[in-house]
Amino acid sequence: MSAPERRLMEGSEAIAEAAIAAGCRFFAGYPMTPFTEVLECFAKRLPEEGGACINSESELEAIGQAWGAAATGARAATGSTGQGLSLMQESMSEITRAEIPIVIFNMARGQGDYYQATRGGGHGDYRHIVLAPQSVGEAVEITQLAFHLADKWRHPVVIYGDYLIAHTAEAVGIDRLDFGPLPDKDWAVDGSLGGTGRSRNVNPIGMEKGSKGIDPNRFWQNLADKEDEIAVAEQRFEAIDTEDAELLIVAFGTLARFARAAIRDLRAEGIRVGLFRPISLWPFPSAALRRAAEGCTRVAVLEQNAGQMIDDVQLSLLGSVPVVPIGGISTDAAGFGIGALLDSDLIAGRARDAHAGRPVPRGVVA
Amino acid sequence: MTDSNDPLRVIPTDAPPVGACRKTGDFVPPLTLMGEHDLCPGCGEPLALRQILDSIEDTGLGQKAIGVIGIGCYTALTSLMDIDLIQALHGRAPSVATGAKRMRPDELLFTLQGDGDMVNEGLQEVIHTAARGENVTCILLNNGVFGETGGHMTATTVLGQRTKNSIEGRDAGEHGYPILIGDLLARLQGTAYCARASVHDAKGVARTRRFLDRAFESQMKGQGFSFVEILTMCPTGWFIPTSEGPDYLDQELGAVHEVGELKKDGVLIED
């Protein structure tokens, strides 16, 4: 197979094209910066591909429409910023329980939605898969992977992007990626089984046709068992220069790209520093992080918020290595997440302090 | 079948008589998995559901229908409905039906919602679905009360109606006015068919069936949004004896939410 033609594309367009290449035929959304252009691209492209894109009256409706489309077996997606995802949380929790594969794009305003993404803001016992690309190129691959994982596990997948992912233009080539075989969607509704005694009910409450009542304990436990399997099977990460590292930086998403540049400079100075980048935020790659942190003097958590992922780092390391935060709240005047922390020199300075055991400034990074 | 010359037939006594002692649960209507339900005596919802399923079966859409179900007492009926279903969140059935219809344009897509579900929690969904002219049928089971929680005021509760949170009766000054949802939806351009029926007597049941047939026909012709509101009895939530349910519906709920067709083929039907 020849390599796909590479073209300069904004992230929003690349994501929409990648989704369409993966077979996505339905999208619904409501405009909100910096997600808006993702919706624009789907609105333009899906009708050309025989699909549908709905400009929903709210994020509540957007996720409902994607829910209905996905329940028929179509590959379907929705998205917003973290603010819009707040409105979708009730449905996201129910969709997880109804085991409907759906992809949800969060073009977040920075990294303050880490808890929302990984803990979920909805009710009940549930987790969903969260993937965080660091670049437009990786977003193209992760978007396609997300549809595959959603179908593989019958589970929602959130893609945690941001302003930089949505609005940076990179040269990317888009071809359909093959991640292997998937089970038939015999659970999906198509209307054909009415009156046969085998009709379906895609539902989030454990209702079964032909039997009265439900068994909530068994229903919830089945979901928990599946999530335990996902937690083992779907951990993804990247480790750079971790073998001999004295200081290990942990960072995700686009911020990790700035950390990568900082590490190159620090290595040139002879400072032994490495980068561990979780790609799946849930399941968090705990075992790999523990291995990467072996022999390190310190682990520095770089995140663009008041300190959220640091919880997962601490839970992974269980006190085996001292953990220090080197990021912080850092955004622009509009609050879209373009803060002073997105600076490899500044990050290198903070890493130098952390490596030397000096205190790293806390508070807003402006 | 018996001929007058045949000897008198003797019923064998070593086996139970055929056809005797049949229970209501032994009769299973089309597109139904069980003949009995767990809703209260005198409830109008199973009557309405029977009309819906019969209409789907008789119009030949039994293997082309997808229902999207809201949350209320009627949710319990999903276990006996033998058609493909998607269970939606409270209030969110119209958006779910929209997404499903866009991917399955040849199938009959309908929602089943109560008044609390459609007119309280999800009012904006049904309005926008109608305004888009979405080619789905929304069916409202309207009993003017949150039945599942035990009789609380909804947006369609009529003035004077006693509920657990309007204990002296719904008062316009304190609780506002009921929403006549059928009248509201009929006036939207995207609505092709709109009607209000009731199941409080045989005539009403027959009319319910007729309106459902027309709504489904409208959808299969691709006319746009169709809506059937069905007034149903809820003696439990109305705090009245079971036998008084039909009259209460007719005289109280029915006096405000008037039965009849409101729009046909995209044309408003004026009084």
Per-residue HEC secondary structure of A234-254 comes to CCCEEEECCCCCCEEEECCHH
The boundaries of the domain holding residue B148 are: 38-268
> What's the rounded mean pLDDT across residues B43-55?
97
Domain check: are A129 and A242 in the same one? no
> Under 8 Å CB-to-CB from B225, ≥6 apart: which residues?
B129, B130, B132, B133, B134, B135, B136, B138, B185, B188, B190, B191, B192, B193
- Sign of the Cα pseudo-torsion (A135, A136, A140, A143, in order): positive
**Range of lowest pLDDT (A86-90, A203-207, A212-216, B244-248):** A212-216
And the tokens for A109? Answer: 């305003």
Contacts of A27 in chain B (CB under 8 A): none
Domain check: are A146 and A276 in the same one? no
Rounded to 5 degrees, what are φ and ψ at B228? -130, 120
The answer to whether residue A120 sits within a structural domain is yes
DSSP A126-166: ---EEE--SSHHHHHHHHHHHHHHHHHHT--EEEEEEHHHH
> Under 8 Å CB-to-CB from B169, ≥6 apart: which residues?
B159, B160, B161, B162
Contacts of B89 in chain A (CB under 8 A): 64, 90-91, 94
Strands B260-264 and A157-162: unpaired
Domain check: are A352 and A247 in the same one? yes
pLDDT at B1 over 50: no
CATH number of residue B182's parent domain: 3.40.50.970
- How many angstroms separate the CA atoms of A323 and A346, rounded? 19
The answer to whether residue B255 sits within a structural domain is yes
**Separation in Å, CA of A104 to nearest CA in chain B:** 15
- How many angstroms separate the CA atoms of A29 and A65, rounded? 9
> Under 8 Å CB-to-CB from A262, ≥6 apart: which residues?
A249, A344, A345, A347, A348, A351
Q: Are B66 and A189 in contact (CB under 8 A)?
A: yes
CATH number of residue A312's parent domain: 3.40.50.920
- Sign of the Cα pseudo-torsion (A210, B99, A25, A154, in order): negative
- Residues B232-251: tens digit of each pLDDT: 999 999 999 999 999 999 99
The answer to whether residue A118 sits within a structural domain is yes
Q: Which residue of A has its CA nearest to B65?
A: A191
Kind plus residue range of the DSSP H or E element containing B138: strand B137-142
CB contact under 8 A, A64 and B99: yes
Length of chain A: 366
Domain check: are A155 and A256 in the same one? no
Return the closest-CA partner of residue B31 out of B96, B85, B94: B85
The answer to whether residue A163 sits within a structural domain is yes
And the tokens for A213? Answer: 């009542």
CB contact under 8 A, A64 and B87: no
Give me the residue label for tokens 């400009």. Answer: A55
The answer to whether residue B11 sits within a structural domain is no
The boundaries of the domain holding residue A291 are: 238-356
- Residues A2-43: tens digit of each pLDDT: 788 999 999 999 999 999 999 999 999 999 999 999 999 999
- Residues B97-139: tens digit of each pLDDT: 999 999 999 999 999 999 999 999 999 999 999 999 999 999 9
CATH number of residue A108's parent domain: 3.40.50.970
| Range picked from A5-9, B8-12, B16-20 for highest mean pLDDT | A5-9
Q: Which residue of A has its CA nearest to B134?
A: A54
Domain check: are A84 and A158 in the same one? yes
pTM of the model: 0.94
CB contact under 8 A, B85 and A199: yes
The answer to whether residue A103 sits within a structural domain is yes
CB contact under 8 A, A67 and B95: yes
Domain check: are A27 and A113 in the same one? yes
**Separation in Å, CA of B100 to nearest CA in chain A:** 4
pLDDT of residue A64: 98
The residue out of A126, A157, A173 marking a domain boundary is A173
Select the residue of A194, A207, A210 nearest B63 (Cβ to Cβ).
A194
Kind plus residue range of the DSSP H or E element containing B96: helix B93-103
Rounded to 5 degrees, what are φ and ψ at B110? -135, 155
The answer to whether residue B2 sits within a structural domain is no
The residue out of A124, A145, A173 marking a domain boundary is A173
The answer to whether residue B23 sits within a structural domain is no
- How many angstroms separate the CA atoms of A198 and B124, rounded? 34
Return the closest-CA partner of residue B257 out of B161, B190, B193: B161
Q: Which residue of A has its CA nearest to B30?
A: A195
Question: What is the average pLDDT score of chain B?
Answer: 94
* DSSP state, residue B74: G
Contacts of A52 in chain B (CB under 8 A): 102-103
- How many angstroms separate the CA atoms of B225 and B186, rounded? 10
Q: Note whether B95 contacts A: Cβ–Cβ < 8 A.
A: yes
**Separation in Å, CA of A201 to nearest CA in chain B:** 5
- Residues B157-200: tens digit of each pLDDT: 999 999 999 999 999 999 999 999 999 999 999 999 999 999 99
Domain check: are A30 and A168 in the same one? yes
> What's the rounded mean pLDDT across residues A229-257?
98
Q: How far apart are the first and last CA of chain A?
A: 48
The residue out of A157, A173, A189 marking a domain boundary is A173
Domain check: are A165 and A251 in the same one? no
Q: What is the tally of structural domains in chain B?
A: 1
Contacts of B98 in chain A (CB under 8 A): 54, 61, 64-65, 68
Q: Which residue of B has its CA nearest to A72?
A: B100
Domain check: are A169 and A245 in the same one? no
Domain check: are A146 and A16 in the same one? yes
pLDDT of residue B17: 64
Strands A280-282 and A298-301: unpaired
pLDDT at A1 over 70: no
Q: What count of CB pairs under 8 Å joins A to B?
A: 166
Give me the residue label for tokens 């979405």. Answer: B134
- Residues A279-299: tens digit of each pLDDT: 999 999 999 999 999 999 999
Domain check: are A13 and A129 in the same one? yes
Query: What residues does A239 pair with on adjacent strands?
Result: A276
Q: What is the tally of structural domains in chain A?
A: 2
